[in-house]
A and B are shown apart, each in its own frame.
Chain A
Amino acid sequence: MSMSAEHDDALDDEVLRQVVGELRKPVRLDPSLDRRALDRIQAESHRIAPPASRRWGIWIAGAAVAAGVLLAVTLPDRGTTPARASAVALEQAALAGDARPVRLRLAAPTSSRVAVVGDFNDWDPAATPLRRAGDGGTWIVELRLKPGRYHYTFLIDGRRWARDPNSPPAAESDFGAPVSVLTVS
């Protein structure tokens, strides 16, 4: 190896040591850099955020969703037994697994038609007519009712109320008509 080549190698080594030395020195950052970076991020987030009116809209929508869920959970469903649905109500009771067969009878040999009204058919005079039995004097209807306590009365010929003599009378008579009580167990 020539002297010139050795000198070049030595020079290269010296340059390399100086470079490495500079790289190994600790980096000194501006102490305000963190603060400036955070300020910049905050400014950018304000620019990206929706306007106040839109934020309010989202809050209102969220509150409405929460209120809707709350109402749906807490309010009872009155729609399951709709109006004028006595026959439907009876059918639903019959379809229910715990419905019990109940037979009501009334001796009314001179009557031309008999119906029963009560808690089980929304007190609808047209919902539950009785049929004349074979003896001609007795009127009969079969119901299927869930266990519970029902108030009812018979309507004879569309104009006269008659309590069921085979059932206990209602303890109360709010409206003056004779009413019976049926307990299905």
Chain B
Amino acid sequence: MSVAWWLVFSVFLALPPTAWAQDERLTERLNPATASQVQQVVDSARRGGLPGEPLVQKALEGATLGASDDRIVAAVQSLHGQLRRAREALGGQASDAELTAAAGALRAGLEPSALRRLQSLRPDQPLVIPIAVLTDLVAEGVPPAEATRSVLDLARDGRPDDEFVALRRQGRAAGAEPMGRPALRPAADPPVDQ
């Protein structure tokens, strides 16, 4: 065998296994066709600079919850689209965690402009917590406009993440009362999470 072919062989040995293999978690938990379809979406996302792990987790979630193959693929494709929109809103400098959180926010019905505004108010700070709080508030039933206003108020004042968490707790308490819910205000309560 010539030196050239030895070089080619060595290169293939040196390549990371992921360069040609499917994610084992997908192949073990999904049928081959579905795993292949999901893998294509994951690869496409990664080629586009988007995080692939949330897409893998979405597929695994569907598998565990007993969803049909079509539904799993559709959910993964939908999340891929949301991740793309999230990056369009936040730009290429956003971290994977921020993109994932932002995708959830868009899914919850929040506007990309709200994310951009939040980013402009916290240019050098992580956005995961404020975006997560914003999403949670909307999921708890707080109107998106009101939730956005409250979170942006905190961001504008340069409040730390702890105060966003406190705002979420206030929103959860308020959301339990369908009528006469008080307006959200930035809270000064000490941060308490799980």
Contacts and interface: CB of A to CB of B under 8 A. Distances in A.
Decide whether A and B assemble into one complex.
yes
Contacts of A67: 11
Nearest to B28: A83
Given A60-B8, A149-B101, A149-B128, A175 B71 contact: yes
Given A68-B11, A78-B18, A79-B18, A185 B165 contact: yes
Interface residues of A, number: 51
A58 B3 CA distance: 8
B132 A61 contact: no
Contacts of B100: 148-149
A117 B66 CA distance: 13
A122 B8 contact: no
A25 interface: no
Interface of A: 54, 57-58, 60-61, 64-65, 67-68, 71-72, 75-79, 81-84, 102-104, 117, 119, 122-125, 147-149, 151, 161, 166-172, 174-177, 179, 181-185
Interface in B167-194: 168, 172, 191, 193-194
Interface residues of B, number: 63
Contact of A79 (B2, B17, B194): B17
A168 B168 contact: yes
Contact of B2 (A57, A77, A172): A57
Contact of B97 (A83, A147, A161, A177): A147
Contacts of B71: 174-175
Q: Which 9 A-B pairs have the closest CB atoms?
A: A57-B4, A171-B108, A83-B24, A61-B7, A68-B11, A174-B75, A168-B136, A123-B64, A83-B25
